[in-house]
């Protein structure tokens, strides 16, 4: 039996959330998706609220993964403890609220989802994701294993992909918001892509207002980032998995654009 998994790139701001709400269920039907993981750490620009998490789940996400902005909205803390359908990075401090691993039912049997965060060029010091992944794999007893690796460096993402090749079903990168052209099945059978891309304003810098980002790089005073407006896109990758072996059969990039209507 095959399981079709769709991983959706970081949802940025209210514009990205609205576009996801309008398109995700249709995309699931059109592409025969059995399980959908959505990265939601930027729904509030930085962070996510309990209400926004519920909106992502209602829109068609089976699980929400997070990243370095997991806790920017402090009201999410109790929700992280209470809901098993939202995952913060497993290698964050054990004192942080929530969990980094979840097991979910699908038509092909249980699937384990793991959220990890990178260390290269990040402004804090989580545990080593390579060592923690090795530890977690010894505790996981499902054949189907999915990993969202929220990391800055492409080298760190690719290295972890090869490190876990043949040991997990699929590993995708998030955080950098720019889709990469390297979706593939690695030599030992793990589906991989360095970055899914993002869900949010097309004409933006990683979801942020263009002029605001330019001003920052020109050396102006920093101000709180604001999500751009305008037409939106949804980017991600579909992984077709073999339920018997737990390995990936093929990968396919998905990109849905709305170039006609504005999103505020």
Burial class (CB in 10 A: 0-12, 13-18, 19+), 181: exposed
Among candidate residues 174, 124, 179, the one with its CA nearest the CA of residue 151: 174
- Helix, coil or strand: residue 193: strand
Which string of b and e fits 47-70 if b means at least 16 CB within 10 Å? Answer: bbebebbebbbebbbbbbbbbbbb
Tell me the angle at which helices 50-59 and 13-30 cross, rounded to the nearest 10 degrees: 20
Q: How many CB atoms lie within 10 A of CB 101?
A: 17
Which string of b and e fits 235-255 if b means at least 16 CB within 10 Å? Answer: bbbbbbbbbeebbbeebeebe
Q: Catalytic residue among 31, 69, 150, 203, which?
A: 69
Q: Is 175 a catalytic residue?
A: no
Rg (CA), the chain: 17
Provide φ and ψ at 198, rounded to 5°: -145, 165
70: Cβ contacts below 8 Å, ≥ 6 apart: 41, 47, 48, 76, 80, 88, 89, 92, 96, 98
User: Up-side HSE of residue 222: CA atoms within 13 Å toward CB?
Assistant: 2
Q: Give me the active site residues, please.
A: 69
């Amino acid at each position: 039996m095959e399981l079709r998994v769709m991983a959706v790139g970081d949802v940025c701001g209210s514009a990205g959330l609205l576009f996801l709400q309008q398109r995700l269920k249709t995309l699931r039907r059109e592409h025969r998706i059995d399980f959908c993981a959505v990265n939601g750490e930027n729904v509030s620009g930085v962070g996510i609220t309990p209400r926004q998490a519920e909106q992502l789940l209602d829109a068609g996400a089976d699980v929400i993964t997070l990243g370095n902005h997991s806790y920017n909205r402090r009201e999410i803390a109790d929700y992280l403890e209470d809901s098993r359908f939202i995952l913060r990075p497993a290698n964050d401090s054990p004192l942080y609220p929530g969990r980094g691993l979840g097991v979910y039912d699908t038509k092909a049997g249980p699937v384990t989802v793991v959220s990890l965060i990178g260390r290269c060029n990040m402004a804090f010091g989580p545990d080593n994701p390579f060592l923690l992944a090795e530890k977690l794999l010894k505790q996981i007893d499902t054949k189907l294993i999915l990993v969202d690796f929220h990391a800055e460096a492409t080298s760190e993402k690719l290295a972890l992909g090869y490190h876990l090749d043949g040991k997990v079903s699929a590993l995708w990168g998030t955080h950098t918001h720019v889709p990469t052209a390297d979706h593939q099945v690695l030599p030992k059978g793990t589906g991989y892509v360095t970055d899914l891309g993002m869900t949010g304003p097309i004409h933006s810098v990683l979801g942020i207002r263009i002029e605001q980002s330019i001003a920052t790089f020109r050396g102006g005073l920093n101000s709180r980032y604001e999500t751009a407006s305008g037409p939106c896109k949804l980017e991600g990758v579909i992984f077709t998995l073999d339920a018997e072996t737990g390995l990936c059969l093929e990968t396919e990039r998905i990109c849905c654009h709305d170039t006609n209507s504005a999103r505020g």
